[in-house]
Amino acid sequence: MRIFLSRPHMSGHEEQRVAEAFASNFVAPLGPQLDAFEEKITEYLGADVHCVGLSSGSAALHLALRIAGVARGDEVWISSMTFAGGIFPVNYLGAKPRFFDLSPDSWTIDTNLLAEELEKAANENRLPKAIVPTDLYGQSVDLDALEALAAQYDIRLILDSAESLGASYTGGRKAGSGGDAAILSFNGNKIITTSGGGMLVTRHQAWADEARFLATQARDPAPHYEHSTFGYNYRLSNICAAIGLGQMQVLDDRVARRREIFSRYKSTLERPGISFMPEPEGQHSTRWLTALTIDPNEIGMTREDIRLMLLEHQIESRPLWKPMHMQPLYTGSDYHGSGIDEHLFANGLCLPSGSDMSNEQLDEVIEHIRDLLA
């Protein structure tokens, strides 16, 4: 039986929620299940925020950047190690990305490096329109430092929390509740899923109102279809939101299981030459995916040797995200850093981490890797 990297894990509550949506005949994009899902996320985050359910995390980022005023020619400073959907909306708006390296202590954006470059940019009158750091593999960025920098330079801060719903930051703040806005993803491989979908979370009521307007084709209030600007078909389906309501009932359980899986991998595989993604003190990562690095000089084999061996046994693993500044699409883009993200990509591997993995499957993955290392 194939062992997947991270597949959807249904709880048993979803069918009832979907049945309620069908019974009410709200199968169009909007409906009571969507309203309830947005309220549930707001309640979970425990902050003074407004949530707007959307068709994807990328749609949420697109709307957030547009509402933040990002336009053609503006710069957006962004984590280089991220998923493509976390950067493409910058292109949609004709803006220019400037990429940043990671901190070795957290594998999230290096806030010291960011502070240095912001000071230079301020002196040269070329500050970015927005900063978009990524909560990598379920771990929150250094939120306090980022919010302080955004306030100091009056720059919009939009958090890519697509991978971190269920994580918390120092002081108990929930990932996805900070900045001017944050984006969440409910894609099939995430901690919880709506089959596909995302959410914009913002502390600004006006941003939430504008996001709802733009996400429903920017239809002005009128008995006919009236448009003073262009919009998008970005709202989350009421049926998908019903699935999300069922998933929210087990979010904390899903996070706990993924952390158990990470701990099991770490306790059995960590050794000289194999290092796992660190977790800064006071933070609580979801461990969405268990990420580690292989030192070929120490271990005598590469990341690819392990990945291909696992694939032969029908076990899915994956390299870490390829940094965006290394992608052909962004050749020549501005990049700041010492290549920590490049090193992680060259030597990093994500192991199967789905919350539906059995202990027997987990042991199977571990034993195959141990046998190869022996």
Q: What is the pLDDT of residue 186?
A: 97
Burial class (CB in 10 A: 0-12, 13-18, 19+), 67: buried
**Residue 137 DSSP SS3:** helix
Domains of the chain: 14-248 (3.40.640.10), 251-373 (3.90.1150.10)
Cα separation of 308 and 314, whole Å? 10
Read off the pLDDT of residues 212-229 as tens digits, 9 standing for 90 and up. 999 999 999 999 999 999
pLDDT above 90 covers a percentage of the chain that reads: 95
Q: What is the pLDDT of residue 148?
A: 98
Read off the pLDDT of residues 263-315 as tens digits, 9 standing for 90 and up. 999 999 999 999 999 999 999 999 999 999 999 999 999 999 999 999 999 99
- Is the Cβ–Cβ distance between 132 and 138 less than 8 Å? no
Residue partners of 185: CB distance under 8 A and separation at least 6:
56, 57, 85, 162, 163, 197, 198
- Is the Cβ–Cβ distance between 94 and 118 less than 8 Å? no
State the pLDDT confidence band at 138, using cuts at 50, 70 and 90. very high
The pLDDT of 111-139, averaged and rounded, is: 98
- Is the Cβ–Cβ distance between 254 and 357 less than 8 Å? no
Cα separation of 159 and 120, whole Å? 23
Q: What is the pLDDT of residue 192?
A: 96
Query: pTM value?
Result: 0.96
Cα separation of 14 and 198, whole Å? 17
